[in-house]
Amino acid sequence: MRSFGLGRKGLALPLVVATVALVSLLGFAAAYIVESQVKMGSRFSGHQDAFYYAEAGVHEYLWHLNKDSKFYEHDDSFVFDGSNPRVHSVTGGYYQLEVTDPGPERPVVTIRSTGWPADDPSNRCTVRAEVHKRQFVQHIWLTGQEKTPPPDGEDVWWITGDRCYGPLHTNGTLNIDGRPEFYGPVTYSVGLNVRPGSSPYYAEGPPEKVSPLGFPASNSQLMTWAKQPDGYYFRGRTCILLDGSQIRVKYPVWNAGARRYDFVEETRPLPSNGVIYVDGTTADPEGDPTTSKYDPAMGNAFVSGTLDGRLTIAAAKDIYITGKDPTNFNYSAAASTGGLRYANTDLDPAGGMTDDMLGLIAAGYVRILHYDWPHDRPGSLWDWTPYYTPEGDVAPRDISIYAAIFALNWAFEFEEYDRGLLKGVITLRGSITQKYRGAVGTFYSGSGTRRSGYSKDYHHDPRMLYDTPPHFLEPVNAGWEIVAWRRE
């Protein structure tokens, strides 16, 4: 019986075919893996590029904000091309922006930037940044130092019974004794001095040390704005009544022939750029020095009334807030104003929040007028009697102030706060920034009972967390900061 089997050559052929097939398969697999890795690497690299282009969009928008802190109010041509999102090109790619303006719910500018590489438009990356700029008006209370003005320069303390409704900051040392209450963030730049046994209440956490907010050297930039055709510039002691969407103003003009100042009274609409500046000199045209707050050459502003609009009033010297119409030199006939108010005083974000906003920026003091009254000659209106008497007291019992106040080199205070009759309440809604800490009254040290001046009802205007009066002074060292960032 014969048997049949495969020869060696017949057995080798299938093995060779199988080996070639396996090698080919491995080669194809390797090539596929390499190709996939190249594609994945390219895709990853493209996504990293897209991320870079998206970040470039955020940084370019921040550049615009640092040039113009209100850029978001007129950035339509940058963000939109007509009604469509505008595409911006950068080297190797593109980005588009969505920008949300700040508001009561989110007091930040939100920048959403989407980037992609030029050679792969489907490979996109989006980043979202929330930014804000540190401003003086973001605080209800901001001081360069918690000290009284020179020459005394004494430390001022927050004590039991004091309440602060809004953010507080001092560039100096914060002094605390007892149990004051702080209903907002508290920050300082030098030190925190808490006397033993004190138990202050912090509604939003303990005080934090932060960098100082640099005060400008002067308010002269506002003079530049006021000298523009759409601003108002006055020289010499100027009285301003806010009368809704217009002002009544009374200012001096030198009459060389009669060798005296004549006063011009006008009614004007609010300035288009929102700035009024009151300038002054240290002597009149004949060389006589200006020594009285009422000297016509003095760069003081006297302000009162109701504002319907947005306005910043600055003075080369002091600003006085009055309880009557300061343009009427007959005090007994002048109409009562109650101080400074908005036509719409609603500051509740849930209601019909006002769009009125006032700034007061004095190179010297911002004061509530206490004694004497504007008139048409130098010296006291009550020359026949000492004006530190009830007859010379022109401060109202209660006064309202809706404004952001900035006393650049001195303080906000009640004039001669330690004299005269006991007053009522200052109702302030806005912000106070001052180099030194002014006073509005005095107390008996034993009982804490008020002896003179006003008590305080101060609350922050919540809009000032993200908005300011027109061309309000900004810190010299504050740029835009990213407060929140994420990759979408």
pLDDT 10s per residue in the chain (488 long)? 444 444 555 556 666 556 666 656 655 555 555 454 544 445 456 679 999 999 999 999 999 999 898 999 989 899 998 888 999 999 999 999 999 999 988 999 999 999 999 999 999 999 999 999 999 999 999 999 999 999 999 999 999 889 999 999 999 999 999 999 999 999 999 999 999 999 999 999 999 999 999 999 999 999 999 999 999 999 999 999 999 999 999 999 999 998 889 999 999 999 999 999 999 998 888 888 888 888 999 999 999 999 999 999 999 999 999 999 999 999 989 999 999 999 999 998 887 899 999 999 999 999 999 998 988 865 555 444 445 555 689 999 999 999 999 999 999 999 999 988 899 999 999 999 999 999 999 887 666 678 899 999 999 999 999 999 999 999 998 888 899 999 98
How many angstroms separate the CA atoms of 255 and 261, rounded? 6
Q: Which long-range contacts (CB under 8 A, 24 or more apart) does 14-19 make?
A: none
Asked whether the beta carbons of 136 and 473 are under 8 A apart, the reply is yes
Provide the 8-state DSSP code for 155: B
Q: Which residues contact 67 (CB under 8 A, 6 or more apart)?
A: none
In this structure, the number of other CB atoms found within 10 A of the CB of residue 198 comes to 16
User: Dihedral, CA atoms, 337, 338, 342, 345, nearest 10 degrees?
Assistant: -140
pLDDT value, residue 385: 45
Tally of CB atoms within 10 A around 239: 26
pLDDT the model gives residue 237: 95
Integer Cα distance of 296 and 259 in angstroms: 13
Contact 298, 279 (CB under 8 A): no
User: Dihedrals φ, ψ of 28, to 5°?
Assistant: -60, -40
Q: At CB < 8 A and 24+ separation, what contacts does 154-162 make?
A: 155/193, 156/437, 158/182, 158/200, 161/448
Is 0.95 topped by the overall pTM? no
Q: Which residues are CB-contacts of 486 (< 8 A; sequence separation ≥ 6)?
A: 127, 128
DSSP letter at 75? -
Residue 254 tokens, joined: 């030198």
What are the respective helix, strand and coil percentages of the chain, to the nearest 5? 20, 35, 45
CA distance 315 to 237: 9
CB of 93 closer than 8 Å to CB of 79: no
- The confidence score (pLDDT) of residue 389 equals 57
Element (H, E) at 131: strand 125-133
